[in-house]
């Protein structure tokens, strides 16, 4: 029997004021008012239907994402978190994160979210340039982003994060570094620094903007990484930097191949069963269908031959060494089944190995897709 990994809970709020041209998340432009209480009631019913898959386990982290969760009223957030606590055991020290858009932030609402149980806020800043914010379809300006960060800092939360993007249309090296400097000046305990990628089924996908070339992107990353490091931030994942003691525990659980229950429109779940099976769940994407009570779109068992790729695809995003014992613990498979692939990865210079851990190398980071392809099931 597999030793069950830690369990997280993800809750999805699907509405935004408007859809950003780069976004391929399951978000829907708001038409009319948010159905606060009705949607919360459906979220709690969705959660109840999945309780049999978690076998009474404690939830160690909770993340409310979107969309724009800060569109949800303070009273609806209170009802949601009260309802969650009635249905699952939330760890006494659980990290409880909510995403927020600076354009939908009010001081009294932030404080009310905190009273409801939110102890970490992730603020979608993206840039401090008015022109680039407009190009990205964001509804806020630099002053609102700064105000939201100052409010979050003043609340004395467990932590807060700023989301920032680089490699934006017409963005120079100095523009990108200036964004970082302004973010660092706000002293967030955590910074997520993503490179903009063009995704299919987005406005940018059908009308691609001119982006910096590969050399420019490398210079932005190299000098930005140095700026963050000098400011006391440590990179622990491809796009995540944190001060000591402030890594995002929810995302760490994803990357360590932990379990998570996904609730709400389009949410995904991964739930290990006591007999070692891994069940993945996918919820109905559109709010209309979800709010008719059709919560689960599908559930399926991960085939044993797919487990190695799924495990390493998550684990090798982290820069920390991977305990070899966790491969068997979290997949139920013997390490012998990936021995030849591990040996090839070591030969190619992608991995180092000792008696207890695997460590991805600098070369492995550069050729991460090639490393992961070693673990794909050839059938």
Give all domains of the chain, ordered by start, each with its CATH number.
Answer: 7-253 (3.20.20.70), 324-379 (no CATH)
Burial class (CB in 10 A: 0-12, 13-18, 19+), 198: middle
Largest CA distance in the chain: 59
Q: Please give the span between the terminal C-alpha atoms of the chain, in angstroms, as a whole number.
A: 26
Tokens matching residue 282: 């996918």
Whole-model pTM? Answer: 0.94
Condensed to tens digits (0 to 9), the pLDDT of residues 320-379 reads 999 999 999 999 999 999 999 999 999 999 999 999 999 999 999 989 999 999 999 766
Tokens matching residue 302: 């991960």
Residues 6+ apart with CB under 8 A from 271: 7, 50, 53, 54, 259, 260, 261, 278, 279, 280, 281
Helix, strand and coil content of the chain, in percent to the nearest 5, comes to: 40, 25, 35
pLDDT by 10s per residue, the chain, length 379: 346 999 999 999 998 877 676 666 777 777 878 899 999 999 999 999 999 999 999 999 999 999 889 999 999 999 999 999 999 999 999 999 999 988 766 667 889 999 999 999 999 999 999 988 887 778 888 899 999 999 999 999 999 999 999 999 889 999 999 999 999 999 999 999 999 887 777 667 667 777 888 899 999 999 999 999 999 999 999 899 999 999 999 999 999 999 999 999 999 999 999 999 999 999 999 999 999 999 999 999 999 999 999 999 999 999 999 999 999 999 999 999 999 999 999 999 999 999 999 999 999 998 999 999 999 976 6
CA distances 208 to 162, 169, 196, 290, 371, Å, are 26, 9, 12, 32, 29
C-alpha span between 91 and 60 (Å, rounded): 5
Quick check: 80 and 40 in contact, CB under 8 A? yes
pLDDT at 2: 46
**Residue whose pair of structure tokens reads 């992730």 in the numeric block:** 122
C-alpha span between 247 and 236 (Å, rounded): 8
In 3D space, the residue among 114, 112, 183, 113 whose CA is nearest the CA of residue 150 turns out to be 183
Side-chain half-sphere CA neighbours of 254 within 13 A? 14
Tokens matching residue 353: 């190995």
């Amino acid at each position: 029997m597999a030793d069950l990994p830690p369990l997280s809970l993800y809750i999805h709020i699907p509405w935004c004021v408007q859809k950003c041209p780069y976004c391929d998340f399951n978000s829907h432009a708001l038409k009319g008012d948010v159905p606060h209480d009705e949607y919360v009631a459906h979220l709690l019913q969705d959660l109840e239907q999945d309780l049999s898959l978690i076998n009474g386990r404690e939830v160690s982290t909770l993340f409310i994402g979107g969309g724009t969760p800060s569109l949800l009223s303070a009273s609806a957030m209170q009802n949601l978190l009260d309802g969650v606590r009635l249905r699952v055991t939330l760890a006494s020290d659980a990290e409880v994160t909510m995403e927020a858009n600076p354009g939908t932030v009010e001081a009294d609402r932030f404080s009310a979210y905190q009273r409801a149980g939110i102890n970490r806020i992730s603020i979608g800043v993206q840039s401090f340039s008015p022109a680039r914010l407009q190009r990205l379809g964001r509804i806020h300006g630099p002053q609102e982003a700064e105000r939201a960060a100052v409010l979050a800092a003043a609340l004395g939360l467990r932590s807060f994060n700023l989301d920032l993007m680089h490699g934006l249309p017409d963005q120079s090296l100095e523009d990108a570094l200036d964004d970082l400097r302004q973010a660092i000046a706000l002293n967030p305990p955590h910074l997520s620094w993503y490179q903009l990628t063009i995704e299919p089924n987005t406005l940018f996908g059908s009308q691609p903007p001119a982006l910096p070339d590969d050399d420019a992107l490398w210079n932005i990353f190299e000098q930005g990484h140095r700026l963050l490091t000098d400011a006391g931030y440590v990179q622990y994942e491809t796009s995540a930097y944190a001060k000591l003691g402030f890594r995002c525990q929810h995302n760490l659980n994803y990357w360590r191949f932990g379990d998570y229950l996904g609730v709400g429109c389009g949410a995904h779940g991964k739930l290990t069963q006591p007999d070692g099976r891994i069940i993945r769940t996918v919820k109905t994407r559109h709010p209309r269908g979800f709010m008719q009570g059709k919560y689960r779109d599908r559930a399926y068992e991960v085939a044993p031959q797919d487990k190695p790729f799924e495990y390493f695809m998550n684990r090798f995003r982290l820069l920390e060494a991977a305990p070899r014992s966790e491969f068997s613990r979290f997949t139920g498979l013997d390490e012998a089944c990936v021995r030849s692939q591990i040996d090839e990865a070591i030969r190619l210079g992608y991995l180092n190995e000792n008696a207890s851990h695997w460590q991805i190398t600098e070369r492995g980071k550069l050729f991460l897709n090639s490393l992961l392809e070693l673990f794909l099931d050839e059938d």
